[in-house]
Structure formats: structure tokens, C-alpha cells
Amino acid sequence: MTQAGSPLATAAEPAVSGAVPAVGDEIGPLTVHVDRAQLVRYAGASGDFNPIHWNPRVATSVGLDDVIAHGMLTMALAGRLVTDWIGDPAAITDFDVRFTRPVVVPDPDGVDVEITGRVAEVAPAGSARGADAADSAESAGAATARVDLTVTVDGRKVLGKARATVRLAGSARSK
């Protein structure tokens, strides 16, 4: 039995310093089990005690099927695939998602969140595309890669247009 929040499968090996990923490279999969206990821990850490995340009576009274995971928790799980792959959380220079479907967390079993990624774009160091893609002065001049993420529960997407831009290992960082 796995502990809540523990991966059931590990993400791809982190990028090796100096190695440049190719467009189309697959990342993952990563499966993370989410249960009610994890929602309570996340609520405490984030300060988001909205009862739709822990009280089924409140959740159903507002039209939800049951208690749902925090959107930012779901986003963080997706980001974990990228940080496991790149090997440095600070290498993420941009991260965007659209919350398209709530992650219902039944009691007592919980739910598995499945995350995969694909390298969609690689921009060499010094390219305008790389600097613009990250939209960050810190990343200007650094080689970057954009990773498109697919996040599903029971085969249904829960995040749309999920993508992260990362500064690649060995790329120069503006001071």
C-alpha cells in the first residue's frame, strides 16, 4: 500500500547536464495517489480550509459530486513530474494550467492522478523564442524547453493547456 502523495511510478530520469531534450521526448508517467488525509495536510500547509475540500455535505450542497482536491494541489502534482525530470525546481521559469475538471476524492479509497509530459519545443540559448517563451529576465539567453503536460483521473483530463517552460541544465543564467 502506498502512502498518500507517494508516487506509484517514478518520473523519467532527470535531464543530464549539457544534454538537450528533443521535441517529442516523453516524460513520465507519474501516478500520485490522493486521499482525504492528503487534502487535510494540504489545507493546513496552504491555509485553504474551504470545506469543499474536506466536507462532503458542503461539497454536494454546492453541486459537486463529492469532496474535491485543491486546484493548486493538482497543479503542484503536475509540476512534480517536471521537477523530477529536470532535477532542479528552480529551473521552471513559467508554469501555466487551466483548471478544466475537479478532481473528486472519494472516501476512503482516494484517487490516482496520472501525469505525463512531452517536450513540445526546444529553444537554443540566446534565441528570442527561448527568452520570450519563459517571459523572464532571469532566463534570457538560456536554452529552454517547453513541456506540455497531460493530467488525468480515470482517463479524463483535469487540467487543460498545462505547460511548463524550463531552463535547461548548463544554460547561462543572467545575473
Mind listing the pLDDT tens digit for each residue in 92-124?
A: 999 999 999 999 999 999 999 999 999 999 998
Cell numbers standing for residue 7: 508516487
- Top CATH class of 7-34+70-167 equals alpha beta
Domain residue limits, the chain: 7-34+70-167
pLDDT digits (tens, 9 = 90+) for 134-169: 454 444 578 999 999 999 999 999 999 999 999 997
- Report the C-alpha gap between 137 and 134 in whole angstroms: 9
Q: Which helix (H) or strand (E) is 71 found in, with range?
A: helix 71-86
> Model's pTM, two decimal places?
0.82
